């Protein structure tokens, strides 16, 4: 027999979050070594610009979502005199997610899922810039919360 009156001692059960990464993949990638195509005119001072876009979507299978992170990394000659290289990467993941309300799902897909994918995309960017003849570009951490707020 319970000491709590009218069942007040029973905890209300919140749904438990379940999240699994089912797959990760490169959807599209290109690397253009513009410097090699045009030829080098001596020493240049590079300036790197990174743009990020996110595309979350529901899949046809229940509780499955796909998140595509689009990265455009361009290295320009300081002063706007031309582009050294441009790398475009669309890196995605398939996630099984249960236990979130509709209000919680959108921020989770736009913040937490890209955070989990980011280290892999960073490595691909670094490997491709190095293989393209440039020092590897190790992307700085990305504020996915800020990107989410900008999309609202």
Domains (range + CATH), the chain? 17-151 (3.10.420.10)
Question: What tens digit of pLDDT does each residue of 1-15 get?
Answer: 445 555 554 555 667
Q: Is residue 42 over pLDDT 70?
A: no
- Going by pLDDT thresholds of 50, 70 and 90, the confidence category of residue 16 is confident
Q: Which range is least confidently modeled, 24-38, 54-68, 98-112?
A: 24-38
Comparing C-alpha atoms, which of 151, 138, 127, 152 is closest to residue 53? 151
- Going by pLDDT thresholds of 50, 70 and 90, the confidence category of residue 41 is low
Query: Contact at 8 Å (CB) between 73 and 57?
Result: no
- CA dihedral in degrees (17, 23, 24, 29; nearest 10)? -130
Question: What tens digit of pLDDT does each residue of 88-145 get?
Answer: 999 999 999 999 998 999 999 999 999 999 999 999 999 999 999 888 999 999 999 9
Comparing C-alpha atoms, which of 136, 67, 70, 71 is closest to residue 96? 67
């Amino acid at each position: 027999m319970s000491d709590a009156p009218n069942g007040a001692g029973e905890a209300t059960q919140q749904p438990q979050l379940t999240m699994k990464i089912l797959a990760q993949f490169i959807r599209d990638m290109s690397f253009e070594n513009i410097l090699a195509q045009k030829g080098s005119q001596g020493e240049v001072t590079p300036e790197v610009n990174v743009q990020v876009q996110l595309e979350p979507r529901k899949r046809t299978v229940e509780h499955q979502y796909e998140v595509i992170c689009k990265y455009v990394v361009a290295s320009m000659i300081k002063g706007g005199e031309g582009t050294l290289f441009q790398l475009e990467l669309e890196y995605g993941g398939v996630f099984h997610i249960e236990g979130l309300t509709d209000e919680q799902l959108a921020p989770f897909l736009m913040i937490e899922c890209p955070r989990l994918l980011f280290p892999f995309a960073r490595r691909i960017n670094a490997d491709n810039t190095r293989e393209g003849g440039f020092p590897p570009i190790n992307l700085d951490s990305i504020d996915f919360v800020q990107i989410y707020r900008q999309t609202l």
